[in-house]
Amino acid sequence: MSDQSTEFTRLPETDDERDDPERATREEVLDFWAERFGVPSETFEGYTFWERGAGKLWLYRGHPPSPVDIEGLGMTFLRTRQEHWKPTLEAVQRFGEHASRNVIHLDEDAAQAFVAGEDQELDWDGDWGYLVVTHDLAGEAEPVGVGLYVYGELRSQVPKGRRREL
C-alpha cells in the first residue's frame, strides 16, 4: 500500500473525469493560467500535471503511469485547494515570460527589495492578487517571482530560503 504523501497522481483532464470535487483538473489549471496571466494553454503542451498531497500540484514533461510513488516529479507548480490559487516561484520563473496579464515590472531598487523578501508600497492599476513580478536582466524583462498585491502593497512571496540581498 502506498503512502499518499509520496504518491503522485495525474490530474483528471476535465470535470467529467474527476472523482473528488475539490481536486483541480488539467482544464481548470490551463484556464487559471490563461485567465489570470494570459499564458496560452498551448504553452503547456507535452506537460502533465500531478497532485501530491492536498492541492500541491507538480508539472512534468512527459507521461509516466499514474499513480507514481516517488519523492519528486518534475517541478512544483501551483497550490490549489485554497481560496486563491498560488503559482510557485519555479512556475513563474519558467513560464512567466509568456504572461501578458497581471505582470508588474520593477526597477532596480524595487527588484532588490522584492528578492530580499521585503514588502513594499507600489502603485498598480491592475487586479489585486498574485502577480508575475519581472525585472530587466541582460536587457530583457525576466520573471523573478510571485508577488501578492493587496491594499497598495506588493508582498514578496519569495520563499525564505531563496531570498537574496543583492
2 band by pLDDT with thresholds 50, 70 and 90: very low
Euclidean distance between CA atoms 148 and 54, whole angstroms: 22
- Cβ of 84: how many Cβ atoms within 10 Å? 11
pLDDT at residue 3 is higher than 60: no
pLDDT at residue 1 is higher than 60: no
Please compute the mean of the pLDDT values over residues 119-131 and round it to a whole number.
Answer: 95
Euclidean distance between CA atoms 38 and 152, whole angstroms: 23
pTM for this predicted structure: 0.88
56 band by pLDDT with thresholds 50, 70 and 90: very high
What is the residue extent of each domain of the chain?
A: 8-97, 102-162
- For the stretch 87-119, pLDDT in tens is 999 999 999 999 999 999 999 999 999 999 999
Longest CA–CA span in the chain (Å) reads 52
For residue 49, how far is the Cα from the chain centroid?
A: 12
- Give the CATH fold of the 102-162 domain: 2.30.130
Q: Three cell numbers at 34?
A: 490563461
Please compute the mean of the pLDDT values over residues 5-31 and round it to a whole number.
Answer: 91
Q: Three cell numbers at 88?
A: 510557485
Q: Three cell numbers at 143?
A: 520573471
Euclidean distance between CA atoms 68 and 125, whole angstroms: 43
Please compute the mean of the pLDDT values over residues 6-13 and round it to a whole number.
Answer: 88
